[in-house]
């Protein structure tokens, strides 16, 4: 590429847009390879959708959108091992329960699944077990993307098993798209996940901050509170324009880790099939309320309450964070999430925190009839329009290439980790994959 401003012929000047886990992982590999990296982030903190918040009396951060790692998350755990921080990864044993006819039953082990009353004791339970075993063992997911979850499950698991066990999950995640989602998505969800759930000492924000500090010592420059306005190809490379006049720079390469819709807006030079593909990708948003309470919701110590949409609760899941991590990390407070995946434009995106809490209280009281509004000490509501990509039939044909048609511009997002589900593990994988391509091309 010729001599870059780094001062060495082999050094490439690179911008990474987005300081989520994928962007940070890419910056790590690119900097280790000797390149000059600048990370742009519109928010005031690193971490992306895994970022958190913290009260003065808390020792740990709380994620804005509840996060955890699985024991099978080899990309995330491998990166942490490379950084030398594996001793700071914790895997507590939380307990998940599922709703059935007005009660919640444990559902996070083979034994719990066998004892779950929602499937009775006959052929349905056998079919449920055999389908689950097949999806755990097979690696051949490509044929599964040619058929919907709805059609495949009705054929092989049967209507009763599907409607009791899997349809609530798919409806909760994808709302109006539930019957259009392809079976490879559910395969990936069951194939790779574990009952053990992990976190980092101090929370995900603690890891992101520590990672960013390591990158700074390696020479990475961070420009926080700096949203990008557009990326334009010029004779000297790619011009990155921000709202600040003095922050406009030209780079040899740019990696965007944004949503597909945002990339379409940032790069007006994209055209044709690639641009159309970005705009046609569908996704669900998320609204998550975090409550600090004086009392526990679940005295049994349950962590995750799975709730079918058909049960009429005002949220999809209640997650009692301090039944997973000790309240001692949070000044003795009890921290609870109430969350839902929703289409952009849903009324929850416009309700005030107070209005949303009023909607949610009856649902919390259905879980714990003793719950009183005066248990609530503090409330936060976090919202995003881009939380869950929607994989339709033959979705692999719709995945945008990491290399965009604009020379030097690359794209890595959770919309490209398919067939795997979104999460920090696959954000790290796609970020490092993009970094590898960038180094190869330079």
Residues 200, 77, 48, 339, CA torsion sign: negative
Residue 356: enclosing H or E segment and its boundaries?
helix 353-367
Average pLDDT of the chain is 92
- Cα distances from 273 to residues 267, 398, 409, in angstroms, run 14, 10, 16
pLDDT digits 0-9 by tens, 89-108: 999 989 999 998 889 988 87
Residue 351 and residue 354: Cα distance in Å, rounded? 8
DSSP string, 26-48: HHHHHHHTT-EEEEE-SSSSS-G
For the cut 90, the answer to whether the pLDDT of residue 250 exceeds it is yes
Average pLDDT for residues 361-376, to the nearest whole number?
96
pLDDT more than 90, % of the chain? 80
Structural domains for the chain: 13-90+201-281+398-441 (3.50.50.60), 109-192 (no CATH), 282-389 (3.90.660.20)
For the cut 70, the answer to whether the pLDDT of residue 4 exceeds it is no
Average pLDDT for residues 384-409, to the nearest whole number?
95
**Which residue, among 126, 125, 131, 123, has the nearest Cα to 187 in the 3D structure?**
131
For residues 169 and 50, the model is more confident at: 50
- The rounded Cα 136 to chain-centroid distance in angstroms is 22
Burial class (CB in 10 A: 0-12, 13-18, 19+), 42: middle
pLDDT band at 324 (very low <50, low <70, confident <90, very high): very high
For the cut 70, the answer to whether the pLDDT of residue 7 exceeds it is no
425 neighbors 68 (Cβ within 8 angstroms)? no
For the cut 70, the answer to whether the pLDDT of residue 320 exceeds it is yes
Average pLDDT for residues 354-369, to the nearest whole number?
97
pLDDT band at 421 (very low <50, low <70, confident <90, very high): confident
Identify the three-state secondary structure at position 84.
Answer: coil
pLDDT band at 2 (very low <50, low <70, confident <90, very high): very low
Average pLDDT for residues 187-198, to the nearest whole number?
86
Identify the three-state secondary structure at position 340.
Answer: strand
For the cut 50, the answer to whether the pLDDT of residue 361 exceeds it is yes
Residues in the chain, overall count:
442
pLDDT digits 0-9 by tens, 277-304: 999 999 999 999 999 999 999 999 999 9
Average pLDDT for residues 372-382, to the nearest whole number?
97
pLDDT more than 70, % of the chain? 97
Single pTM value for the model: 0.93
pLDDT digits 0-9 by tens, 122-161: 788 888 888 988 998 999 999 999 999 999 999 999 998 8
pLDDT of residue 418: 93
- Rg for the chain, CA atoms, rounded: 23
Let me know the angle formed at the C-alpha of 148 by 264 and 286, rounded to the nearest 5 degrees.
50
pLDDT of residue 247: 63
pLDDT of residue 194: 79
305 neighbors 367 (Cβ within 8 angstroms)? yes
In sequence order, the 6+-apart residues with CB closer than 8 A to the CB of 218 are 28, 31, 32
In sequence order, the 6+-apart residues with CB closer than 8 A to the CB of 15 are 37, 38, 39, 40, 238, 240, 249, 251, 253, 254, 255
Residue 302 and residue 297: Cα distance in Å, rounded? 9
């Amino acid at each position: 590429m010729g001599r870059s401003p780094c001062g060495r012929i082999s050094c490439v000047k690179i911008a990474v847009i987005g300081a989520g886990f994928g962007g940070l992982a890419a910056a790590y590999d690119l900097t280790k390879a000797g390149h000059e990296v600048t990370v742009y982030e519109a928010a005031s903190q690193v971490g992306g959708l895994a970022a958190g918040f913290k009260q003065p009396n808390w020792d740990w951060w709380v994620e804005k959108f509840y996060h955890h790692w699985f024991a099978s998350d080899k990309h995330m755990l491998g990166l942490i091992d490379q950084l030398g921080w594996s001793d700071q990864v914790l895997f507590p044993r939380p307990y998940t329960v599922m709703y059935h006819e007005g009660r919640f039953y444990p559902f996070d082990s083979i034994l719990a699944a066998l004892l779950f009353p929602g499937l009775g004791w006959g052929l349905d339970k056998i079919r449920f077990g055999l389908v689950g075993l097949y999806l755990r063992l097979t690696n051949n997911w490509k044929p599964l993307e040619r058929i919907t979850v709805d059609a495949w499950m009705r054929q092989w698991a049967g209507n009763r098993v599907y409607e009791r066990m899997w349809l609530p999950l798919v409806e909760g995640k994808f709302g109006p798209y539930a019957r259009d989602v392809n079976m490879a998505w559910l395969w990936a969800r069951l194939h790779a996940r574990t009952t053990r759930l992990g976190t980092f000492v101090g929370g995900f924000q603690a890891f992101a901050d520590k990672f960013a500090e390591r990158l700074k010592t390696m020479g990475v420059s961070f420009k926080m509170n700096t949203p990008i306005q557009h990326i334009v190809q010029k004779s000297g490379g790619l011009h990155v324009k921000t709202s600040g006049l003095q922050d406009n720079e030209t780079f040899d390469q740019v990696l965007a880790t944004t949503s597909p819709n945002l990339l379409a807006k940032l790069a007006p030079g994209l055209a044709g099939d690639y641009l159309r593909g970005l705009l046609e990708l569908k996704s669900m948003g998320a609204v998550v309320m975090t409550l600090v309470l004086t009392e526990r919701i679940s005295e049994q110590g349950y962590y995750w309450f799975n709730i079918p949409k058909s049960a009429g609760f005002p949220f999809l899941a209640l997650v009692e964070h301090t039944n997973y991590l000790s309240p001692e990390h949070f000044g003795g407070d009890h921290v609870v999430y109430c969350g839902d995946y929703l289409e952009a434009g849903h009324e929850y995106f416009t309700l005030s925190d107070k209005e949303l809490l009023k909607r949610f209280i009856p649902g919390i009281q259905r879980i714990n009839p003793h719950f009183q509004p005066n248990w609530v000490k503090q409330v936060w509501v976090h919202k995003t329009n881009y939380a869950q990509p929607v994989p339709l039939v033959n979705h692999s044909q719709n995945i945008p290439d990491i290399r965009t048609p604009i020379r030097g511009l690359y794209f890595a997002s959770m919309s490209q980790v398919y067939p795997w589900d979104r999460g920090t593990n696959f954000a790290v994988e796609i970020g490092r994959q993009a970094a590898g391509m960038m180094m190869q091309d330079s």
